[in-house]
């Protein structure tokens, strides 16, 4: 089993400069490989990520000597990712890859197996040395890879770990209860037990701060140091929104898988729902897809079972007691009276 642990780094200013150079090398390799890919394709050749990696490694010491000052994994993995991007494009799973531009608060690079050492609250990176971590790795096992990523003015390490077989999930289910979960915008989730989980609406509550931070960015001259500072301030607001949303979802899903062995949820077509202009922002803020993803993997770790209802099953239109189905049910109606037995219901 492979899990990932995201840890806050505590780098010095010198180490942060190394991170930015490594991320810049990854971005440069992506843009070079994309340009070269287009050139080879126009000439009638069939480019591959493996071939581009070999070509880049053969010329980087002469043409791009600054890339040799950082780990070799940064540019190499970036070109491999470009190959995966083209695979997704040709299989109609993604759009055509685009060139990457430098961002003041969003940089990342990759470290593969053997390119790092983890000891307690320290991480050793090639050509840099030891970097402090805010906490030790929580999963016992073998670290496989690390992605160093910048979010606003902070740096994080996402460590992928092959978990040891004896490891036990801290939220293991100790009951045989059954629950149904109905997600929504008024309430993030309504359980079949009658419990209502409030929607934190992290994005909506931060709209004023986001608007002011975005205006500050637009008023700064492009390429200036003040614009970079304004971008970092904007990034901090976005990070706060993301952290609040993530905290709510993790606490909710961990509690559900611990208290209920069988969890029923509906299979929502989130991508299609986001195409509707009016509720798109609220749907993105609620993060239904992430809620379902966390329930899926956490229930498996906890020893439970996640049951997904069919996407087209009329659960809201069907009475949870007698099975009576109404023909029409407007979106704003949360409760309706069953015509068969005359009591209010929310559906199955």
Torsions phi, psi of 244, nearest 5?
-65, -45
Detail the DSSP E strand segments found in the chain. 2-10, 108-111, 117-119, 122-125, 129-133, 141-151, 154-163, 178-183, 187-191, 196-198, 262-266, 305-309, 336-337, 344-345
Q: What is the pLDDT of residues 211-231, one digit of tens each?
A: 999 999 999 999 899 998 999
More confident residue, 168 or 13: 13
* Parallel, antiparallel or unpaired: strands 122-125 and 117-119: antiparallel
Number of Cβ within 10 Å of residue 11's Cβ equals 19
Q: Please say whether the beta carbons of 7 and 159 come within 8 A.
A: yes
pLDDT bin (cut points 50, 70, 90) of residue 347 is: very low
pLDDT at 159: 95
* The pair of three-digit structure tokens given for residue 265, joined into one six-digit string: 């949820």
Query: Is 0.85 topped by the overall pTM?
Result: no
Q: What is the pLDDT of residues 53-74, one digit of tens each?
A: 999 999 999 999 999 999 999 9
Residue 331 has pLDDT above 70, yes or no: no
**3-state secondary structure labels for all residues of 82-134:** HHHHHHHHHCCCCCCCCCCCCCCCCCEEEECCCCCEEECCEEEECCCEEEEEC
C-alpha distance from residue 3 to each of 239, 254, 279, 302 (Å): 22, 16, 33, 14
Q: What is the pLDDT of residues 109-140, one digit of tens each?
A: 999 988 999 999 999 998 999 999 999 999 99
Tell me the mean pLDDT in the region 18-27: 95
Q: Among residues 253, 242, 139, 243, which one has the least CA distance to residue 191?
A: 253
Residue 28 has pLDDT above 90, yes or no: yes
Residue 310 has pLDDT above 90, yes or no: no
Separation of alpha carbons 318 and 306, rounded Å? 21
Q: Please say whether the beta carbons of 302 and 172 come within 8 A.
A: yes
Dihedral over alpha carbons 54, 58, 64, 67 (to 10 degrees)? 60
pLDDT at 295: 92
Residue 104 has pLDDT above 70, yes or no: no
C-alpha distance from residue 235 to each of 22, 107, 218, 242 (Å): 20, 12, 14, 10
C-alpha distance from residue 74 to each of 26, 77, 301 (Å): 5, 6, 32
* The pair of three-digit structure tokens given for residue 46, joined into one six-digit string: 């069939």
* Average pLDDT in the chain: 88
């Amino acid at each position: 089993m492979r899990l990932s642990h995201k840890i806050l780094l505590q780098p010095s200013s010198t180490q942060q400069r190394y991170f930015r150079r490594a991320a810049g090398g990854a971005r440069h390799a992506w843009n070079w490989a994309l340009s070269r890919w287009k050139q080879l394709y126009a000439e009638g050749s069939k480019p591959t990520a493996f071939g581009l990696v070999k070509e880049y490694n053969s010329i980087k010491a002469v043409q791009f000597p600054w890339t040799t000052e950082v780990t070799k994994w940064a540019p190499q993995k970036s070109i491999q990712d470009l190959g995966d991007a083209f695979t997704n494009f040709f299989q109609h799973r993604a759009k055509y890859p685009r060139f990457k531009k430098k961002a003041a608060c969003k940089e990342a690079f990759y470290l593969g197996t053997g390119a790092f050492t983890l000891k307690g609250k320290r991480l050793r990176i090639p050509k840099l040395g030891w970097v402090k971590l805010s906490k030790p790795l929580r999963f016992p096992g073998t670290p496989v890879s690390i992605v160093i990523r910048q979010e606003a003015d902070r740096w994080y390490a996402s460590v992928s770990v092959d978990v040891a077989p004896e490891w036990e999930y801290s939220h293991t289910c100790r009951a045989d209860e059954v629950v149904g979960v109905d997600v929504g915008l008024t309430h993030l989730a309504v359980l079949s037990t009658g419990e209502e989980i409030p929607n934190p609406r992290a994005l909506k509550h931060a709209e004023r701060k986001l608007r002011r931070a975005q205006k500050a960015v637009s008023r700064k001259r492009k390429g200036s140091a003040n614009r970079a500072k304004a971008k970092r301030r904007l990034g901090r607001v976005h990070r706060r929104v993301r952290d609040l949303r993530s905290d709510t979802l993790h606490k909710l899903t961990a509690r559900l898988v611990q208290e209920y062995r069988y969890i029923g949820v509906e299979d929502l077509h989130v991508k299609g729902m986001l195409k509707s202009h009016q509720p798109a922002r609220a749907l993105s803020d609620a993060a239904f897809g992430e809620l379902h993803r966390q329930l899926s993997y956490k229930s498996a770790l906890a020893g439970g079972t996640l049951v997904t209802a069919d996407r087209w099953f009329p659960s809201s239109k069907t009475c949870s007691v007698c099975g009576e189905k109404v023909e029409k049910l407007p979106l704003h109606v949360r409760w309706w009276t069953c015509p068969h037995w005359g009591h209010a219901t929310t559906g199955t």
